[in-house]
Amino acid sequence: MAELSFFGNPFRRLLWSPLILAGSSSLAAMDWLETPSAHIFKFDLPGFGSEDVKVQLEEGNVLSVQAEEKQKEKQRQKEAVWHVTERGRGSLARRIALPENVRAEQIKAQVENGVLTVVVPKEPIPPKAKPRTIAVTSKL
C-alpha cells in the first residue's frame, strides 16, 4: 500500500489547517466531495446571504471562507433575549489547504438556502508513460 504524503492526504490537511480564525468565529460545518474534474465544498451558513460571505484563495493554496452578520442584524439581536443559539450566530469561518492540482483562476462560489457551494476545478492528470523498450545504439 502506497503511503500518502502529508499534503496528499485530505484528512491530514483538514487537521493541519487553522480551522477557526481570530475573533469569536465558529467553525462552519462542511462537506468535501471530490469528483474526477473538481473538488466540491459545501458549507452550512444558516442566515447568511451572499453579501455576508467572503471566499478567498490565500497564499499556499489555502481556501478561506468567512461569513459575518451585518451590523444592523447584530444590533437587532442585542435588543432580543436569546435563550439558545446553536447555529453559529455572529460569524463563521473555515480554512482548508487545497491540493496542488487545482485551477485557482476557475474557482466559483454560490450561496443558496443557507448553503455555500464552492467548486474548485482540478487540472487533468497527465497519462503515465507506458513501459517500452528503448533501443541502444553505439552513437547518440
pLDDT for 129:
87
Residues 87, 88, 92, 95: what is their CA dihedral angle, to the nearest 10 degrees?
-70
In angstroms, the CA 70 to CA 108 distance is 23
pLDDT for 2:
45
Name the residue type at position 111: V
Q: Domains of the chain: which residue ranges?
A: 10-121
The CATH code that applies to domain 10-121 is 2.60.40.790
pLDDT for 27:
80
Q: Model's pTM, two decimal places?
A: 0.67
Q: Is 42 helix (H, G, I), strand (E, B) or coil?
A: strand
pLDDT in tens, the chain (140 residues): 444 444 555 554 554 444 443 444 578 889 999 999 999 999 998 888 889 999 999 998 999 999 987 755 555 666 777 677 666 567 888 999 999 889 999 999 999 998 999 999 999 877 888 998 988 998 87
pLDDT for 105:
93
In angstroms, the CA 65 to CA 41 distance is 11
